[in-house]
């Protein structure tokens, strides 16, 4: 598939607030991206990549991401399952990760629950890649992205082979559950997972918030140009779709 043919849908409802940055990340990676409200979306099979962005969908009432997930199930859950079976790509960032957990698209028995600190955590964190999936081909070594969530602690039965990123210390050594390197107390320092086939991906940190080098927390100590580290995620998934679909 040519890069110019790749189509991305960033799906929003009331309360999501990271859709513009997510769209911009895909556009910087060279593909067409659209923001669609759930009420506007007629056929997800018009797209190759579907992304649930960050924010506070439906105000996070009941539980984070639960209402959006219920509305997606009511509208096109069967079509979404077909989308995944065909090998198309689904991503969920922060609140979007919470939506994916409620939709049972990640092939795990688990939940994202309240941070161990019992407060909203907004800080840069370091990540180490544990396996390849549709969103990681361009990631090298450790990566620094910001987190911004109140319910990011992953618990449950998470197969080791589905762990994509773990929280680590700045030098790349294990966080070992210690705060703030592991900002939420997630078991096994897990920051991101994927489904068994690697085409559905949930990530708590926000790559769309560091598209340019000036978005990094240490930007004054970096070269005065270039991309932010979050672009590695967008380049990865676009390259994957070019190659595999």
- pLDDT category at 116 given cuts 50, 70, 90 is very high
Residue positions counted in the chain? 245
Angle between helices 95-103 and 66-85 (to 10 degrees): 70
Q: Is the pLDDT of residue 224 over 80?
A: no
Mean predicted confidence (pLDDT) in 145-155: 98
Mean predicted confidence (pLDDT) in 226-233: 96
End-to-end CA distance of the chain: 6
- Residue 51 CA: distances (Å) to CA of 5, 135, 213: 17, 12, 23
| Domain residue limits, the chain | 3-244
- pLDDT category at 223 given cuts 50, 70, 90 is confident
Q: 166, 189 in Cβ contact below 8 A?
A: yes
Q: Active-site positions?
A: 94, 206, 208
What are the phi and psi torsion angles at 96 (to 5°)?
A: -65, -35
CA distance 120 to 105: 26
CA distance 165 to 130: 5
pLDDT at 225: 77
Can you read off the two tokens belonging to residue 237? 């998934």
Mean predicted confidence (pLDDT) in 142-164: 98
H helix count then E strand count, the chain: 4, 11
**47-89 pLDDT tens trace:** 999 999 999 999 999 999 999 999 999 999 999 999 999 999 9
CA distance 144 to 151: 20
Q: Is the pLDDT of residue 238 over 80?
A: yes
Q: 129, 109 in Cβ contact below 8 A?
A: no
Q: Which helix (H) or strand (E) holds 50?
A: strand 49-52
Q: Which of 1, 77, 25, 3 is nearest to 229 (CA)?
A: 25
pLDDT at 221: 86
Q: Which helix (H) or strand (E) holds 198?
A: none
DSSP string of 200-216, one letter each residue? EEEESS-GGG-SBGGGS
Q: Which helix (H) or strand (E) holds 37?
A: strand 32-37
Q: 160, 176 in Cβ contact below 8 A?
A: no
**1-53 pLDDT tens trace:** 999 999 999 999 999 999 999 999 999 999 999 999 999 999 999 999 999 99
What single DSSP character describes residue 225?
Answer: S
Please give the CATH topology (third level) of the domain spanning 3-244: Rossmann fold (3.40.50)
């Amino acid at each position: 598939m040519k890069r110019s043919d790749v189509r991305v849908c960033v799906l929003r409802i009331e309360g999501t607030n990271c859709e513009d940055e997510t769209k911009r990340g895909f556009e910087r990676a060279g593909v067409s991206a659209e923001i669609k409200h759930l009420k506007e979306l007629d056929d997800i099979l018009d797209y190759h990549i579907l992304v649930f962005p960050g924010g506070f969908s439906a105000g996070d009432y009941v539980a984070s991401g639960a209402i959006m997930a219920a509305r997606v199930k009511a509208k096109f859950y069967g079509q979404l399952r077909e989308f995944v079976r065909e090998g198309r790509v689904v991503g969920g960032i922060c609140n979007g990760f919470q939506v994916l957990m409620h939709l049972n698209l990640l092939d795990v028995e688990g939940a994202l629950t309240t941070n161990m600190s019992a407060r909203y955590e907004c800080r840069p964190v370091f990540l180490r890649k544990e396996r390849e999936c549709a969103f990681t081909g361009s990631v090298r070594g450790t990566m620094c992205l910001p987190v911004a969530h109140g319910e990011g602690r992953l618990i449950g039965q998470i197969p080791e082979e589905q762990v994509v990123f773990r929280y680590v210390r700045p030098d790349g050594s294990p966080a070992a559950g210690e705060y703030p390197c592991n900002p939420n107390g997630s078991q096994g320092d897990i920051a991101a997972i994927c489904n068994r086939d690697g085409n559905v991906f949930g990530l708590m940190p926000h790559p769309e918030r560091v598209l340019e080098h000036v978005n990094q927390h240490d930007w004054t100590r970096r070269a005065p140009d270039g991309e932010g580290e979050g672009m590695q995620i967008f380049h990865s998934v676009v390259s994957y779709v070019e190659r595999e679909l």
